[in-house]
Amino acid sequence: MPRTRVKICGLTDEAAVAAAVAAGADAIGLVFYSPSPRAITPELAQRLCAKLPPFVSAVGLFVDAEPKTIRATLAAVPLDLLQFHGDEPPEFCASFGRRWIKALRMRPEIDLPSEMERFMTAGAAGVLLDAFDPTRAGGTGQQFDWARIPPEIASQIVLAGGLDSDNVAAAIQQVRPFGVDVSGGVESARGIKDHAKMFAFMQGVRNGDNRR
């Protein structure tokens, strides 16, 4: 049984990066969206990426950013994957010559299979599903109904939205996603990662994998 991959998102300091790596995260998420409490500069992102060992990926998160902003970030930061978390169309996401994923917020009216096909056809490496909040693009700590995810597409998605050490095992058992993404669920306060919570989350992932 394939194990569930894990991205810990919104890291802002070297100690948090070290703890995420020690806990066993496959990827870290770096937020380039100024309204977020987890936003960092390209200069800081460059320093954080320098602390990553081989086989741990750096993912850059953007929300409706200007193309020049994204290109400037790419010139300064060695990102392995781009994550578009706004209303970016497929053509925009595919225009930077990098591997990318698209976050889809689970609005009540979303046609998920159709939206997935729209982005996957354009070259997305996968799709991340997050809770919908009309006022925030992500990192809301809210959970959506996992039953809305058709089983036949689960292996192509990264599951996000309100995950923490208490519910991630159940999420993996029910949805069987390719990966999971956590941010607020491993924080002591908004934007402040809790090292113990990161380790507990990774144990929850392992528990979920063992029960699949």
Query: Which has the closest alpha carbon to 139: 13, 33, 3, 40?
Result: 33
**Distances 153 to 25, 138, 143 between C-alpha atoms, Å:** 23, 22, 19
Q: Is 170 exposed, middle or buried (0-12, 13-18, 19+ CB in 10 A)?
A: middle
Q: Is 54 exposed, middle or buried (0-12, 13-18, 19+ CB in 10 A)?
A: exposed
- For tokens 């809301």, name the residue: 140
The verdict on whether 130 is a catalytic residue reads yes
With contact defined as beta carbons under 8 Å apart, do 209 and 4 qualify? yes
Of the residues 9, 49, 93, 164, only one is catalytic, namely: 9
Of the residues 64, 80, 93, 130, only one is catalytic, namely: 130
The verdict on whether 93 is a catalytic residue reads no
Residues assigned a catalytic role: 9, 130
